[in-house]
Structure 1
Amino acid sequence: MRVEVIETMPSFERLEQDWNAVYDADPDAQLFMSHRWLAGWLAWLSGPWFILAAKASEAPDAPYVAFLPLRISVKTSEIPFHNELNMAGNFAADYTGILCRPGFEPQAIPAFARQLKQMNWARFNLENARISETRYRLLMAHFPKANFQISQVSRVGKVDSIDNALCPFAALPPDWNAYLDGLSANTRQKIRRLLKQLEASGEYRITVATPETIERDLDTLLRFWEIKWTPRKGDLVHTLVRSNRAMLTRSFKSDLLYLPTLWHGDRPLAALATLVDRRKRAFLFYMTGRDETYDGPPPGVILHAHSIRYAIENGFTEYDFLRGNEPYKYSFGVKERRIRCTVIGTKNGRNIGGKIDRRTVAAALKEATELHQARKLAQAERGYRQILEVEPGNADAIHRLGQLLTTNGNHTAARRMFKTLTSVRPDAYKGWLCLAQSCEALSQHLDAAAAYREVVKLRPDLADGFNGLGRMLHKLDRIEEFDAAMDLVFERDRQAGERNGRVLGRRAAATAEAGSLAH
């Protein structure tokens, strides 16, 4: 079994044909693991993601048989920094999992586990996993409790007691009346009455989103949803609205979204977003929003009944209510499936291998810089050093660590950092300037003068370079070299046609300062 790591969109896009073949063969596959849905979601993500892709053998042309999409982030709440793995679909997918051809689970899933244990992470959140018992056991066998901390996360809401690990779904027969016959008499009569009222009355109508109306219909859906959930979710609701808008917009463009809106005249009453999996012939109810001030026929029941009837008429075989065992779902003749939320953690809370994952260096640098700016110098220093363990040539980390060491008065260590920086970025004047200042702080005047000369060459319009060079030549009792150095700079600029007034002004000021030092 050969496992490849896919981490760019072009590489992922090239997998489409192989991915679809595995998806179609996998009885556990569901929309949030489809290539089309993931393509839209992964392209929107700002943070790093990767996909473990298993081939049937080591042969380069062997077929792919399994995929595991993941995201990785860096956590900085504790020192040292550590990484967390999440399923790639979080936090938009109600389901995640492992895609695999039947019969290859005993080889592919252990291969994924072995690959994961070679990576750098401290916590793996196997969240919302719609995964068979067989696949789950194959995976967990490689993370024994003797070596890892294993915990099951409850998804029961503290406010409403809804269990979001329970997922009701209705198996759809080929005929609408056959579906209604499977419901309770009360529900069956209610649905027929409501749909008849809808169709017979000129007051109510249902529209379905088109390219011309999608923005309006999403606005309706998300506005109603935001009004309902803001009291409970607070400021988080704005992030969720933004994320849902992006996902649903991309899903619509990929022909994966069915979005009906119920109207009373020109007043929108409710909208219902359902994701459409044509490969597996499934409708997946994702979210709804309704006007809570409306007092009339129940919009939610009407839109669900409308959508189920549409699904049956178009050959779909399942209507999935996704996460949550809200009581109203059970009136639609559902069964249940349970998803898993398992956390796998290292015993010491630190990354496997002791280093941060290279994919998260940019995020780690941002966090370390914010700690630095907040004057949390010890934490920032540890963060910078963790980055340099992974990328010894990271110029930004070298520079900022050097600045931090200077702040702490450790000029010897700072000098080493800035010396390294000048080898990494020899054409950047800031590294030379910082090196010169560190050497000057250590009274290493000759080395400081050499570094200041580089600053003058790279930035002849910068007063600090001229002034510093003048100071060092004075300290070395070699002030006569100052004019010669300035003449070389001036001649270079003249030949390049860059007779810049600022350069001449800087030179004159520095010459005057050097002259005053000589006296």
Structure 2
Amino acid sequence: MHIDLIEDMDTFSRLRENWDEVYDSDPYATLFLSWTWLLSWLEKLSTPWIVLAAKRSGSDAHYVAFFPLRIDTRIDGEGRLSNDLRMAGSHAADYCGLISIPDFESDAITAFAQQIKRLNWTDFVLGNFSGSDARFTKLVSCFSQSKFTISQMDRVNKTDQVDNALCPYVELPDDWDTYLETLSANTRQKLRRLLRVVDANSDYRITHATADTVATDLDTLLRFWEIKWRPRKGKLTDSLVRAHRAMLSRSFDRGLLFLPTLWAGDRPLAALAILVDERKKSFLFYITGRDEEFAGPQPGLILHGHSIRYAISCGMKRYDFLRGNERYKYSFGVNERRLHCYVVATRSGRNLGGRLDVRAIADALKEATDLHQEGKIDQAARAYRQILETDPRNEGALHRYGQLLARRGDHVAAKRMFKLLTRMRTDTYKPWLLLGQSCEAMGQFLEAANAYREVIRLQPAVPDIFSKLVNVLFKAGRIEDARQALMTSYGVGSTGAEGGASFSIH
């Protein structure tokens, strides 16, 4: 098997026909691994991503398997940076993993694992990995226990004991009455009675979001959701609401969202966000919100019953409650499956290859800069060094690490940083200014003068730059040159444009 790395949206966009072919053939594929859902997710993802694409070696044929991944960056209390390799849909997708044409699955997984071991990471996080036990076992067996540890993640919520690795779902029959016969007599009677009330055009009604109403309907859903979950999730709530809104809005735009809202007159009572997979004929219940002060008929039961009935009428074959074994889900006659949630970690606790993933350097630089700004100088210095070990010509790291070194008084090392920057940023004055300051601090006055001269050439309006030049020239004993520089600063030199002096320094 040959593996290509897809790393840009243009290439990913051209994969649709091939991707759909693999997706349709994979019995374990779910919406979160569809080309359509991933397209809207990857184009907004803030961290680097890659798609491993497998094809038969020596063949120009289409790809036979895909494995979408993302690269996160983390930093410990000592300033040591590392990378985590995660499923691409992490933090939004309830189901993650890979897709493959069944006949090529085993070979593709082996090839994927070999490629993954050539990447730079400390933890390979297999969160919410969906697929057969055989698929998961094949993947993790490729990671030798002599070099890696494999540990299971605890997905049980400590507050309510909900197991978020268990996923209830309903296999839908061809008609509503047949489905009702699979339920307990009590639930069957409740659903029939409650839905008759709604169908009778009483005070209760259910609307489906349209292009004109979806923004308002999402506001309703997320307002209810926020009220319920803010006491538990605290400050994280705001970012979760933003993330849910963004993902669900994009899903609606691509025809992937069914959003029913239950009303009592003009009062919204509850709403469901359900993702729609036409290719796999599935409804996937993603999130709900309801008016916790409403004391009437059960809004959740009504909306799920309505949505299951609607799904059957649309020819859907599965109603998936996604992650979490909350008790209420089991009244709908569900089966369940378990996700694989494990972490493969390097035994060394460091990135494979001893370096950061170059794709995540921008994220690493942000982490280092945050430490620097917080005054955690030793940690920031360690992080900058790691970045430069991977990317020796990273301008941001050279600039900030150089400043850190200069502030520490290590002007010899700072000078090396700034000198390299002057060769890389030929059109900006700042590296020359920093170089001049470090040279001046070391008593290298002629080199400082040359650097300040370049600042003047590039940006003569820099405050006090002529004073700096005059000062180092005096210190170097270049009195006449200092006098000319002083005259030029007052516009009395004979130099011409931009106020540049006519002398040279050797």
* SS class of match (1:94): coil
Alignment match, 1:121: 121
Q: 1:263 to 1:485 in 2, by over 3 A?
A: same
Mapped to 2, the partners of 1:348 and 1:75 lie a distance apart of: 16
Letter of the aligned partner of 2:102 in structure 1? P
Structure 1 residue 68 and structure 2 residue 67: aligned? yes
Q: 1:441 to 1:209 in 2, by over 3 A?
A: same
Deviations 1:157-201, CA, capped at 9 Å, x for gaps:
101111111111110111111111111111111111111111124
Alignment match, 2:504: none
Compute the displacement of 1:495 (Å): 6.0
Compute the displacement of 1:492 (Å): 11
Letter of the aligned partner of 1:157 in structure 2? N
Compute the displacement of 1:491 (Å): 10
Deviations 1:406-449, CA, capped at 9 Å, x for gaps:
11111111111111111111222111111111111111122122
Mapped to 2, the partners of 1:463 and 1:227 lie a distance apart of: 53
Q: 1:202 to 1:491 in 2, by over 3 A?
A: farther
Compute the displacement of 1:487 (Å): 7.8
Alignment of 1:311-390 (within 5 A): 311-390=311-390
Structure 1 residue 265 and structure 2 residue 265: aligned? yes
Alignment match, 2:443: 443
What TM-score, normalized to structure 1?
A: 0.93
Checking the alignment, whether the CA contact within 8 Å between 2:471 and 2:482 is kept in structure 1 is no
Alignment match, 1:515: none
Residue-pair matches, total: 499
* SS class of match (2:448): helix
Alignment match, 1:224: 224
Which 10-residue stretch deviates more, 120-129 or 140-149? 140-149
Alignment of 1:46-445 (within 5 A): 46-59=46-59, 61-78=60-77, 79-445=79-445
Alignment match, 2:28: 28
Mapped to 1, the partners of 2:493 and 2:271 lie a distance apart of: 70
Mapped to 2, the partners of 1:137 and 1:260 lie a distance apart of: 39
Compute the displacement of 1:494 (Å): 8.3
Deviations 1:184-221, CA, capped at 9 Å, x for gaps:
11111111111111112421111000000001110111
* SS class of match (1:369): helix
Which 10-residue stretch deviates more, 463-472 or 262-271? 463-472
Mapped to 1, the partners of 2:94 and 2:180 lie a distance apart of: 27
Compute the displacement of 1:465 (Å): 2.7
Letter of the aligned partner of 2:96 in structure 1? T
Checking the alignment, whether the CA contact within 8 Å between 1:256 and 1:276 is kept in structure 2 is yes
Deviations 1:214-244, CA, capped at 9 Å, x for gaps:
0111011111111111111111111111111
Alignment match, 1:512: none
Compute the displacement of 1:62 (Å): 2.3
Q: 1:166 to 1:418 in 2, by over 3 A?
A: same
Mapped to 2, the partners of 1:212 and 1:487 lie a distance apart of: 69
Checking the alignment, whether the CA contact within 8 Å between 1:119 and 1:357 is kept in structure 2 is yes
* SS class of match (2:246): helix
Deviations 1:132-178, CA, capped at 9 Å, x for gaps:
11211211111122211211012111011111111111101111111
Mapped to 1, the partners of 2:223 and 2:472 lie a distance apart of: 66
| Identity of matched residues, % | 57
Q: 1:476 to 1:493 in 2, by over 3 A?
A: closer
Checking the alignment, whether the CA contact within 8 Å between 1:55 and 1:64 is kept in structure 2 is yes
Mapped to 2, the partners of 1:419 and 1:284 lie a distance apart of: 57
Mapped to 2, the partners of 1:72 and 1:51 lie a distance apart of: 11
Q: 1:102 to 1:491 in 2, by over 3 A?
A: farther
* SS class of match (2:86): strand
Mapped to 2, the partners of 1:291 and 1:202 lie a distance apart of: 19
Which 10-residue stretch deviates more, 1-10 or 315-324? 1-10
What TM-score, normalized to structure 2?
A: 0.95
Compute the displacement of 1:57 (Å): 2.2
Mapped to 2, the partners of 1:131 and 1:491 lie a distance apart of: 79
* SS class of match (1:456): helix
Compute the displacement of 1:31 (Å): 0.4
Letter of the aligned partner of 1:197 in structure 2? V
Mapped to 1, the partners of 2:67 and 2:397 lie a distance apart of: 32
Checking the alignment, whether the CA contact within 8 Å between 1:66 and 1:101 is kept in structure 2 is yes
Compute the displacement of 1:106 (Å): 1.6
Letter of the aligned partner of 2:15 in structure 1? L
Deviations 1:70-128, CA, capped at 9 Å, x for gaps:
11111012432100111111111111011111111121111111111111110111001
Deviations 1:433-474, CA, capped at 9 Å, x for gaps:
111111111111221221121112112122433122212221
Q: 1:39 to 1:492 in 2, by over 3 A?
A: farther
Checking the alignment, whether the CA contact within 8 Å between 1:44 and 1:246 is kept in structure 2 is no
Letter of the aligned partner of 2:62 in structure 1? P
Letter of the aligned partner of 1:368 in structure 2? A
Compute the displacement of 1:360 (Å): 1.3
Q: 1:415 to 1:175 in 2, by over 3 A?
A: same
Which 10-residue stretch deviates more, 415-424 or 25-34? 415-424
Checking the alignment, whether the CA contact within 8 Å between 2:470 and 2:483 is kept in structure 1 is no
Mapped to 1, the partners of 2:206 and 2:64 lie a distance apart of: 43
Mapped to 2, the partners of 1:290 and 1:187 lie a distance apart of: 20
Mapped to 1, the partners of 2:494 and 2:304 lie a distance apart of: 75
Mapped to 2, the partners of 1:266 and 1:445 lie a distance apart of: 78
RMSD: 1.9
Compute the displacement of 1:364 (Å): 1.2
Checking the alignment, whether the CA contact within 8 Å between 2:484 and 2:493 is kept in structure 1 is no
* SS class of match (1:296): coil
Compute the displacement of 1:476 (Å): 2.6
Which 10-residue stretch deviates more, 319-328 or 72-81? 72-81
Q: 1:261 to 1:494 in 2, by over 3 A?
A: farther
Mapped to 2, the partners of 1:236 and 1:187 lie a distance apart of: 36
Mapped to 1, the partners of 2:164 and 2:70 lie a distance apart of: 22
Mapped to 2, the partners of 1:231 and 1:477 lie a distance apart of: 70
Compute the displacement of 1:366 (Å): 1.4
Mapped to 1, the partners of 2:337 and 2:304 lie a distance apart of: 20
Alignment match, 1:516: none
Structure 1 residue 481 and structure 2 residue 481: aligned? yes
Give every structure 1 segment of 4 or more consecutive aligned residues whose post-TM-superposition deviation is greater than 4 Å. 483-496
Which 10-residue stretch deviates more, 137-146 or 29-38? 137-146
Deviations 1:22-56, CA, capped at 9 Å, x for gaps:
00111111000001111111122212111111112
